[in-house]
Amino acid sequence: MLRSGLVAFLLFLVGSTCCFPEAKAHRKFEVTGYVFTRGAALAPDQVDASRLTRINYAFSNIQGGRMVLGAPVDAQNFAVLRTLRYSNPNLTVLVSVGGWLWSTNFSDMALTAESRRLFEDSVMQFLTQYDLDGLDIDWEYPGMPGAGHPFRPEDKQNFTSLVKELRERFDSVARRSGKRLYLTIAMGASDDVIANTEMNKVQKYVDTVNLMAYDYYEPGSESITGNHAPLLVNPADPKKVSAAESVHAYEKAGVPSEKILLGVPFYGHEWGEVPDQNHGLFQTGKPIPAAYAPFHVIESSMLGHGFTRYWDEKAQVPYLYSNEKHIFVSYEDPESLKEKCEYVLDHKLGGVMFWEYFGDSGGALLQAIDSALGIQSTNRQ
């Protein structure tokens, strides 16, 4: 009787581990950080990999149908990033190809089986030469002009063919050498992006969909201010946009929740000439110089320096307003990241992605993600 009671008690403990707060550390979340050096050389201690599971180095380019280095210093930077694997064996280092300005040649490259094969051959050579763990495709966007790039209706099917063929290549390498290669994609948070892709097919071939759930409002793109990375919809928002709505749209399009990484910004947007109504939120505004503000700039020169912080309870994000300068700032901070990580937990997403590492030189934002998802403790196991 005593023995059976002990067995029952032990089984109860095993089955009840989900009730303990530390249980989140046993689930593996991805925390992917884009590292964008803007052509500068990386120092060995410049990136703290202990709170990351993946680095996406931005960007490689496409020239003559082949993937090429984005800058001469990239080879040196890859060597620096590879050394981070020694301190964090769970870390993977990928290269991201394309981006907003370098998506020019995607449509031509993906057009035919022959042109795709040329690109895919170059990818395999690139990953081998620089000893990288995979590829992140940042095509902005199939079937859409993006920053004025060529595009075609056929991009929709060609994008699917591209990721399918790359997955086949990557799986072949794994079978031969035992080295797993990761394939991820960066995707915009709009219905138009979903409409111009076959996400129900694409998701089968990628490890994660890095959902860029930011830039919903940008100075110059809209005539009014707004939350550029809201977690939830504020009913007063004329556009009715949010990260949660975008996640739902991708799930509805066929992407499993565990493959979605919720993208968060390590930067803010500024509007000028904003009237002092509703502390500047959803008011008319105009672009100003240096309207893109990394978080470390916001933290050091705005908070406590003539700007008042407000909290949008509906959208679960902060914003700043200066009565004197009539400047409105939408941004991310540790409190909003805590809420977003709770959303990741509650909705069983795959983790978090952020753009970009050097926007948070003080480390406050990455610390907030780590505290919520337990990445550092998991990496030490």
pLDDT at 381: 62
Residue 278's contacts (CB-CB under 8 Å, 6 or more residues apart) are none
CATH number of 25-265+332-379: 3.20.20.80
pLDDT at 25: 44
Residue showing tokens 């020694």? 86
Max CA distance (Å), the chain: 78
pLDDT at 11: 41
**First-last CA distance in the chain:** 38
d(CA 127, CA 138): 16
d(CA 355, CA 267): 8
Active-site hit among 22, 30, 120, 140: 140
Contact 247, 349 (CB under 8 A): yes
Of 17, 147, 131, residue with least CA distance to 85 = 131
Of 66, 65, 89, 92, residue with least CA distance to 78 = 92
**Type of residue found at 191:** D
Q: 245: exposed, middle or buried (C-beta count within 10 Å: 0-12, 13-18, 19+)?
A: middle
What's the whole-model pTM score?
0.92
Domain boundaries, the chain: 25-265+332-379
Q: How big is the chain by its Cα radius of gyration, in Å?
A: 22
DSSP calls for 315-326: TTEEEEEETTTT
Q: What pairs with residue 185 in β-bridges?
A: 137, 209
pLDDT at 21: 37
**Type of residue found at 17:** T
pLDDT at 375: 77
What are the percentages of helix, strand and coil residues in the chain, rounded to 5?
40, 25, 35
3-state secondary structure (DSSP) of residue 82: helix
What 8-state DSSP symbol labels residue 258?
A: G
Q: What pairs with residue 68 in β-bridges?
A: 61
Per-residue pLDDT of the chain (381 residues; tens, 9 = 90+): 334 444 343 444 444 434 333 344 457 899 999 999 999 999 989 999 999 999 999 999 999 999 999 999 999 999 999 999 999 999 999 999 999 999 999 999 999 999 999 999 999 999 999 999 999 999 999 999 999 999 999 999 999 999 999 999 999 999 999 999 999 999 999 999 999 999 999 999 999 999 999 999 999 998 999 999 999 999 999 999 999 999 999 999 999 999 999 999 999 999 999 999 999 999 999 999 999 999 999 999 999 999 999 999 999 999 999 999 999 999 999 999 999 999 999 999 999 999 999 999 999 999 999 999 987 767 766
Output the CA–CA distances (angstroms, integers) from residue 350 to 313, 324, 357, in the order listed. Answer: 25, 42, 19
pLDDT at 377: 60
Note if 251 is an active site residue: no
Residue 300, H or E segment: helix 295-301
